[in-house]
Structure 1
Amino acid sequence: MASATADSGTQTPTQLAEQPLLGSAQTPYTFPVHKLRRRQLEPGKTPLVLVACGSFSPITYLHLRMFEMASDFVRFNTDFEVCAGYLSPVSDAYKKVGLAPGHHRVNMCSRAVEHSPWLMVDPYETVNCDENGQPQYVPTAKVLRHFDHEINTVLGGIEGTDGQMKKARIALLAGADLVMSMGEPGLWAPQDLDTILGQYGAFIIERSGTDIDEALASLRQYEHNIWVISQVIQNDISSTKVRLFLKKDLSVRYLIPDPVVEYIEQHHLFQEPKPNSSRGQTPDSTPGPSNSKVAKS
């Protein structure tokens, strides 16, 4: 088997319109390419773009570390060359407890990777709308096809060291919890698994306490496209734990990047509603996901 967590956003695939509406007049969508390395540095290698789909509510240091772990693994164990890494926060239509509004999650992720030379945030999932302007869920398979289209069709791929354009390999980066869900019968549509693992592939970061071998046993037909990365330094920080700390008014510094802490404080995210002393209602301030009709982890 090709041998690699994040709040990976286990997503049950659903039907989606072929031509989703992206953004609005106020927030037009543009695919981010400002940190994408357009020309390879190493001859004989295949350009690789890593994509992590998840809630990122909020983003933690573990989400960022998994990209660095994957980058190291790719350098020493594969014939790929990493040209970029993308975080793709899920749509607000993915209703799950703890999901902050999409624009806040995109902003938090953007602040977290601001100083990274190769990590970017793609708001594609969060700006997908139906014909009524409502958030629309985007299956993971469709997200990977989106990256494939933008990088290999629109941009024409990545230039090799010989000057020839080469198709970039798009691959999912996720934690062991996601691949374990893929091994559960009936949870993922077979055609979506064929797209994700058969066409694109996945780099999976192992987590202590998960029996990844059992999950991989049921995905044996995709073993050539699954790389398992050992987590040498164990890190079990999760968005769920961070939200719990915030609701209890505990410090989350050094669990998540400082710019994200500041953003959360500025916008009063992930806080328990506080009764208005005069009217017994929550104050008119920016609501956290506990107040929101659309809520994820």
Structure 2
Amino acid sequence: MALPPTTAISPPPVPASLETYAFPSSRLQRTLSDPTKTPLVLVACGSFSPITHMHLRMFEMAVDHVKQNMSSTHEVVAGYLSPVSDRYNKAGLASALHRVRMCELACNEASTWLMVDPWEAVQPDYQPTAVVLDHFAHCINDTLGGISGVPAKIMLLGGSDLLQTMSQPGVWSAADLAHILGDYGLLVVERNGTDVSEALAPLARWQDNIWIVRQLIANDISSTRIRQLIRQGMSVRYLLPGVVVDYIREHRLYGEHEEFKETRSSSMPPLRITHAKML
């Protein structure tokens, strides 16, 4: 992923701030096709460092799940990506301004309905997921008056690894779990190697508000693997939206020289291509 020495690097985007923040609603469906349905807003919180095709696919799979299993009662009216604040201090975390911009580029190129909300990303402190969902509920239901006057159901969207952390004692506060799973709900997209039934057992009291989305075509793309490929100088094209690949190259993100470079763990050895030629 190294850039030629002569390639010009454009300045990074101007970061959003709380002073200039406005809730994104340009793609929010403001009316229901059937007024008897419950409007559903999907929210994915995460690092998105960088955003991948898997992140985008989660939303499409969630919509298919709703259409196939509850089309008579629910209607998806919006999907939001909410990149985490820089104060999350996670290894491999590019700055919020870059992560927000990559998400915006991906949504603009690959989707007609997904949006990026920078509110969480520009916060001076880390915001718990429960607080982020409260923010969406306030903006959509209180400020905008819901959808066709009906309060939208806000649901957290994530992979089964998120469900696993929720089932582990001490990882999430009891109050936050009750608020997220009881008052909002969770759409979980299956991932290979995760036992969903085992993770669901400790959360049985909220089982009616946890919806499992089956992954019919395996997709194991992860941001961690993407960063590793980039550090090793390998191609990530077609694993990410093209505009995101170009943005990473332009701003030299995730290279060996980056100050937020991850420490390679022994559990994830270098990726190598053996007995094959790169096409």
3-state SS, counterpart of residue 86 of structure 2: coil
* RMSD over aligned Cα atoms: 1.3
Alignment partner of 1:232 is 2:226: no
Question: Which residue of structure 2 lines up, in the alignment, with residue 126 of structure 1?
Answer: 121
Q: After superposition, where does 1:157-176 map in structure 2 within 5 Å? A: 157-159=146-148, 165-176=149-160
Task: State the alpha-carbon separation in 2 of the partners of residues 40 and 261 from structure 1.
Answer: 36
- Out of 187, 204, 214, the position equivalent to 1:220 is 204
Distance 1:166 1:237 in 2: 37
Select which of 100, 106, 110 maps to 2:104: 110
Matched, 1:23 2:17: yes
- Give the TM-score normalised by structure 1: 0.80
Q: What 5-or-longer segments of structure 1 have no aligned partner?
A: 1-21, 130-135, 160-164, 274-286, 292-297
**Alpha-carbon distance between aligned partners in 1 of 2:77 and 2:251, rounded to the nearest angstrom:** 33
Measure, in 1, the Cα distance between the counterparts of 2:89 and 2:192: 28
1:145 to 113, 117, 134: 134
> How many residues in Structure 1 have an aligned counterpart in Structure 2?
244
Determine the structure 2 residue equivalent to 1:19.
Answer: none
Shift of 1:288: 5.8
TM normalised by structure 2 equals 0.85
Query: Match of 1:56?
Result: 48
> Which of 10, 18, 26 pairs up with 1:34?
26
1:289 paired to 2:260: yes
Question: 1:205-231: per-residue Cα shift (whole Å, max 9, x none)?
Answer: 011210111110000000010000110
Percent identity, aligned pairs only, is 54
Q: Which amino acid is the alignment partner of residue 289 of structure 1?
A: F
What secondary structure does 1:93 align onto? helix
Q: Is the 8 A contact 1:268 1:288 kept in 2?
A: no
State the alpha-carbon separation in 1 of the partners of residues 251 and 204 from structure 2: 45
Residue in structure 2 matched with residue 206 of structure 1 by the alignment: 190
Give the SS at the match of 1:85. Answer: strand
State the Cα distance separating 1:242 from its structure 2 match.
Answer: 0.4
1:1-26 deviation per Cα after TM superposition (whole angstroms, max 9, x unaligned)? xxxxxxxxxxxxxxxxxxxxx9255x
Tell me the residue number matched to 1:185.
169
Query: How far off is 1:189 after superposition?
Result: 0.4
Q: Distance in 2 between matches of 1:226 and 1:288?
A: 38
CA distance in 1, matches of 2:35, 2:173: 38
Partner deviation per Cα, 1:240-282 (whole Å, 9 max, x = no partner): 0000110011110000000000110110000001xxxxxxxxx
Cα distance in 1 for residues equivalent to 2:229 and 2:34: 44
Residues 269 and 288 in structure 1, CA contact (< 8 A), matched pair in contact too: no
2:76 to 50, 64, 82: 82
Residues 141-186 of structure 1: CA deviation (Å, up to 9, x unaligned)? 0000000000000000001xxxxx1000000000000011100011
Residue 198 of structure 1 deviates from its aligned partner by 0.4
Contact kept, 8 Å, 1:269 with 1:289, in 2: the verdict is no
* Pair 1:51–1:35, CA change in 2 (3 A): same
Identify the structure with the greater helix proportion: 2
Distance 2:45 2:159 in 1: 10
The AA in structure 2 aligned to 1:85 is G
Give the distance between the partners of 2:259 and 2:180, measured in 1 at CA.
Answer: 33
**Structure 2 Cα separation of the partners of residues 289 and 106 of structure 1:** 17
SS at match of 1:81: strand
